[in-house]
């Protein structure tokens, strides 16, 4: 069961996972001199503003992904990069600490997945372009055929996956790729109803809002830094505000995010310091509550069918686009170099997925530890004390800053972060500071 000259591939979903799958498939096929036909099904119009043209995400490209894409020859055009980040500011109830990028270079990009927030359409032409549209166009340039139709049914005829759309005859393909987002429930259901036993991954809900500050206020209040908040608010696991041109993007992650939690977040003094003077929370900012990946999908591949991106496996709470890049590339390599049977995917595609799933388990553990920092003020004080000490060393070893940088940027695996955090010197410093802070607290 292999892809050969004249083979056809259908990719359902034209987000980053789908477009990158098409790019890597066609690129590798060209190197192997295999003539492949790739159809990319994506009905969404990425040039529409608001949630209808957007794949519902905070829109931050990690430091490692920016480097990897550039090494691949995928250079992000200036119109796609809305802003760049070279620092993180950690806010607690007592103080704030700034963690600078190791090289002081702009290597984190903020962008819009669609054409921008609802309300931005008043500006013609828009001064930015969609990241997803950029990748889709790159896939088309590589030779993929974009079919702007929603898939209405999936079946198997004569052993080949068959795809149905309204007003067009069924099409049979040698390989079917599910690059469906976790918010596309109907499309996920189609794959669950197919014969390979697929079940979508476990999800949680995030809250993402684009807040209009105006470019000057964004620069003044946020600078070129992502602001992360360590707040003792029940159910809140992670909160960040990121500069994005005229907007500030708010991302909240937690168990149960409702309007009360959002209001409480805005009322905290640490957050108020990042809001423009006299600014009022918009009654209805452009916002969404997307599903995010927290568990594993069941049976994400079968004979001639495979899932990539969020529908298969992703990184816990971070770098979803980076995970889509890695998985799409591995999937394309497996399909072309090894084959498209269930056994081929099991042997060559599943191992890196499994590594990511184990790493996510470690991530759950790290977030449980992080919860302690949220709820124990003396522990937060100890954390800030160690950070202060590292900053005063000016160029000396700074394992905590490095671990936090990797946590916030999504550049490293949770395993790597845990190794950094478990360095004996750092642990000793944390324990000593925690002891002092606890004594003062009591």
Residues with Cβ within 8 Å of residue 322, at least 6 apart in sequence: 61, 62, 64, 65, 68, 315, 410
- Based on CB atoms, which residue is closest to other proteins, 219 or 256? 219
Check: CB of residue 49 under 8 Å from CB of residue 114. Answer: yes
Q: State the Cα–Cα distance between residues 372 and 381, nearest whole angstrom.
A: 12
Residue 214 engages other proteins in binding (rule: CB under 8 A): yes
Structure tokens at 403: 């671990």
Q: State the Cα–Cα distance between residues 108 and 97, nearest whole angstrom.
A: 19
Q: State the Cα–Cα distance between residues 62 and 70, nearest whole angstrom.
A: 12
CB of 183 to other proteins, least distance (A): 26
Q: Is the dihedral of CA 373, 269, 265, 58 positive or negative?
A: negative
CB of 189 to other proteins, least distance (A): 33
Going edge to edge, which strands form the sheet with 151-157?
151-157, 160-165, 168-172
Q: Which residue from 106, 160, 231, 296 is in contact with other proteins, where contact means CB under 8 A?
A: 106
Judged by CB under 8 A, the chain residues 112 through 131 that form the site for other proteins are 119-120, 122-123, 127-128
> Which one of 12-20, 105-113, 257-265, 338-346 is the stretch in contact with other proteins (CB under 8 A)?
105-113
List the x/- string, 386-405, binding to other proteins by CB under 8 A: --------------------
List the x/- string, 46-85, binding to other proteins by CB under 8 A: ------------------x-xxx-xxxx-xx-x--xxxxx
Judged by CB under 8 A, the chain residues 333 through 352 that form the site for other proteins are 333, 352
Give burial (CB, 10 Å; 0-12/13-18/19+) of 431.
exposed
Residues with Cβ within 8 Å of residue 25, at least 6 apart in sequence: 9, 36, 38, 332, 335, 336
- Based on CB atoms, which residue is closest to other proteins, 42 or 63? 63
CB of 323 to other proteins, least distance (A): 13
> Which one of 231-239, 252-260, 326-334, 342-350 is the stretch in contact with other proteins (CB under 8 A)?
326-334
Q: State the Cα–Cα distance between residues 294 and 381, nearest whole angstrom.
A: 30
> Which one of 49-57, 88-96, 201-209, 210-218 is the stretch in contact with other proteins (CB under 8 A)?
210-218
> Which one of 159-167, 216-224, 373-381, 386-394 is the stretch in contact with other proteins (CB under 8 A)?
216-224
- Based on CB atoms, which residue is closest to other proteins, 214 or 276? 214
Q: Which residue from 16, 18, 181, 245 is in contact with other proteins, where contact means CB under 8 A?
A: 245
Structure tokens at 293: 């990946």
Q: State the Cα–Cα distance between residues 361 and 359, nearest whole angstrom.
A: 5
Judged by CB under 8 A, the chain residues 406 through 425 that form the site for other proteins are 411
Structure tokens at 66: 């920016």
Question: What residues pair up with 205 in beta bridges, in sequence order?
Answer: 291
Q: Which residue from 5, 31, 284, 396 is in contact with other proteins, where contact means CB under 8 A?
A: 31
Print the SS3 string covering 187-206.
Answer: HHHHHHHCCCCCECCCEEEE
Measure the N-to-C terminal CA separation of the chain; round to a whole number of Å.
68
- Based on CB atoms, which residue is closest to other proteins, 213 or 301? 213
State the residues that interact with other proteins by CB under 8 A.
Answer: 28, 31, 64, 66-68, 70-73, 75-76, 78, 81-85, 103, 105-107, 109, 119-120, 122-123, 127-128, 212, 214-216, 219, 224, 245-246, 326, 329-330, 333, 352, 411
């Amino acid at each position: 069961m292999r892809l050969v000259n004249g083979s056809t591939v259908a990719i359902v979903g034209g987000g980053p996972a789908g477009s990158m799958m098409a790019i890597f498939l066609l690129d590798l096929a060209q190197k192997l001199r295999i003539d492949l036909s790739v159809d990319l099904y994506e009905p969404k119009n990425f040039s529409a503003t608001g949630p209808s043209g957007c794949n519902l995400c905070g829109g931050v490209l990690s430091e490692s992904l920016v480097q990897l894409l550039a090494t691949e020859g995928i250079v992000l055009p200036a119109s796609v990069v809305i802003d760049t980040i070279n620092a993180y500011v950690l806010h607690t109830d007592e103080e704030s600490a700034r963690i600078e990028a190791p090289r002081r270079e702009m290597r984190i990009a903020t962008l819009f997945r669609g054409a921008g927030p609802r309300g931005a359409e008043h500006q013609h032409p828009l001064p930015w372009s969609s990241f997803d549209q950029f990748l889709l166009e790159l896939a088309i340039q590589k030779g993929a055929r974009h079919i702007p139709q929603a898939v209405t049914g999936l079946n198997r005829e004569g052993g080949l996956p068959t795809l149905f759309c309204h007003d067009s005859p069924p099409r049979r393909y040698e390989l079917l790729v599910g690059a469906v987002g976790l918010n596309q429930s109907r499309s996920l259901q189609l794959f669950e109803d197919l014969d390979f036993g697929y079940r979508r991954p476990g999800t949680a809900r995030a809250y993402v809002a684009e807040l209009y500050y105006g470019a000057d206020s964004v620069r003044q209040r946020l600078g070129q830094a992502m602001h992360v908040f360590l707040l003792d608010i029940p159910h809140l696991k992670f909160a960040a505000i990121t500069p994005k041109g005229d907007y500030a993007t708010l991302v909240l992650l937690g168990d149960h995010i409702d309007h009360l939690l959002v209001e409480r977040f805005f009322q905290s003094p640490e957050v108020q310091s990042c809001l423009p003077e006299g600014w009022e929370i918009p009654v209805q900012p452009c916002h969404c509550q997307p599903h995010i990946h927290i568990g594993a999908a069941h049976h994400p591949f079968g004979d001639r069918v495979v899932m990539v991106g969020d529908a298969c496996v992703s990184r816990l709470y971070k770098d979803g686009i980076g995970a889509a890049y890695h998985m799409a590339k591995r999937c394309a390599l497996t399909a072309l170099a090894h084959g498209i049977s269930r056994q081929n995917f099991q042997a060559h595609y599943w191992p890196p997925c499994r590594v990511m799933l184990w790493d996510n388990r470690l991530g759950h553990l790290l977030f449980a530890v992080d919860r302690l920092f949220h709820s124990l003020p003396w522990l937060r004080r100890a954390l800030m004390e160690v950070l202060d000490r590292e900053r005063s060393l000016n160029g000396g070893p700074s394992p905590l800053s490095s671990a936090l940088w990797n946590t916030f940027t999504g550049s490293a695996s949770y395993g790597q972060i845990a190794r950094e955090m478990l360095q004996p010197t750092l642990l000793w410093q944390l324990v000593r500071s925690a002891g002092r802070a606890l004594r003062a607290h009591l």
